[in-house]
Amino acid sequence: MVKAIEQTRDGMVVGHARLGWFGQKRGSVAQQVYDGDTVTVEAEGNLGVRFLGIDAPEVAIPLPGTDLPFVKLSDPRWDAALADPFSGFDPPLDPDLRAHLQHRVGPGAACNHAAVAGAATRALEELVEADRTTAGKTVEELAFFLAFAGEVMDRYGRLLAYLHPDQAEVPREQRLDSYNERLLATGWVSPYFIWPNVNPFRRAGSVSAAVPVPGTARQVVEAESSLRDAREAVAATREQRIGLYQAGSPLRLLAFEVRCLRPPSAPGPVADRPVQRLRPAPRSAGLPRSGQPGGPVVHPRRVRPAVARTGLAVAGVPRALADTGRSAAATTSSTSLRPQALATGPRAG
């Protein structure tokens, strides 16, 4: 068994497990049945970890109009798809959004994305390998510490976390930041936040109170060091023209833009995330303009009533995206990379 949780070809998400451990051995049925609706199990297979707060260029995703299989962006079919990605939307994309994307799609967009995705992948590999060799650990000994935010797992079975090398024996002031934050500093990822996995949710007393109010992002950033660090990291990589912003061949389409340019084959349970813009005006939700300092936050359907109570409306999102919910958040440098748990947890990096 390779994956503990996986998505089948017909779209179902399934998992594999066995009875959990009790002390130094596998527990009996009586030991692992906690009550009438709870059993302790051990996942049988690997679990993926989706880094919170950041988004890297896509290596492979399904082609427009399909749900499976995943196809590498280097595949010629993706180059053809991004040469004219607008024709598959019914109704058509909003004219302003189309105009915004027009100069960045076309021949070569997929190859550009694939090349930068490969570089981002290597950047993460190098960070993890450097941590392993510095710690003098084998691959069997290498361990990680995960810090969670509002949600622990997505519907694909991936853990949603800030991932650190396990540093329980290292003094707190000497611990490394999460890979999420260090990748942001390299420039190979962009900030990306899916509600409720952002700092305001963790500090607020209710979902309604957690909805960011347009026009307040800058004040929030200035009030909290982790937010300032995230914003400054993005600003520095842009100024230095490294990573996604490298001189000569910067990333043409951000990962969320590629995903949004895939007209979905049909509405489904994952198509459920309208977008809230963080900039002061207009007081509406919509797709961001790439590279601008204030971006949006993505909201699942269950928190839309709370968003509505702030006076925001889902506007500026093309109906083809809004109806299926396949909108996404992207380039905001004004929201936190690090949840409060990373600052206060017992083993935070």
Instruction: Establish if 324 belongs to a structural domain.
Output: no
Instruction: Establish if 269 belongs to a structural domain.
Output: no
Same domain, yes or no: 40 and 162: no
Instruction: Establish if 221 belongs to a structural domain.
Output: yes
Q: Which pLDDT score is estimated for 225?
A: 74
Same domain, yes or no: 179 and 213: yes
Q: Which pLDDT score is estimated for 208?
A: 66
What residue ranges in 104-242 does DSSP mark as E strands?
144-153, 159-165, 190-191
**Residue reference for tokens 């550009």:** 112
DSSP string, 284-344: SB-PPPTT-S--EEE--GGGHHHHHHTT--B-SS-HHHHTTTB------SSS-SS-HHHHH
pTM for the model:
0.77
Same domain, yes or no: 23 and 65: no
Structural domain harbouring 216: 50-262+337-344
125 burial level (CB within 10 Å; 0-12, 13-18, 19+): exposed
Q: Which pLDDT score is estimated for 287?
A: 37
Q: Which pLDDT score is estimated for 335?
A: 31
Same domain, yes or no: 251 and 113: yes
Instruction: Establish if 32 belongs to a structural domain.
Output: yes
Q: Is 68 left (phi over 0), alpha (psi -120 to 50) or beta?
A: beta
User: What one-letter code names the amino acid at 289?
Assistant: R
Q: Which pLDDT score is estimated for 73?
A: 98
Helix axes 76-83, 109-135, angle to 10 degrees: 130
Same domain, yes or no: 32 and 60: no
Q: Please give the Cα distance from 270 to 154 (Å, whole number).
A: 9
Q: How many domains does the chain have?
A: 2
3 state SS for 223-251 = HCHHHHHHHHHHHHHHHHCCHHHCCCCCC
Same domain, yes or no: 136 and 198: yes
Residues of the chain where predicted confidence (pLDDT) is lower than 70: 1, 195, 198-212, 264-349
Same domain, yes or no: 59 and 202: yes
Same domain, yes or no: 36 and 54: no
Same domain, yes or no: 117 and 234: yes
Instruction: Establish if 322 belongs to a structural domain.
Output: no
Final residue in a domain of this structure, among 13, 28, 47: 47
Q: Which pLDDT score is estimated for 346?
A: 28
Same domain, yes or no: 192 and 214: yes
Same domain, yes or no: 211 and 110: yes
Q: List pLDDT tens digits, range 130-183.
A: 999 999 999 999 999 999 887 899 988 899 999 999 999 899 999 999 999 999
Same domain, yes or no: 141 and 237: yes
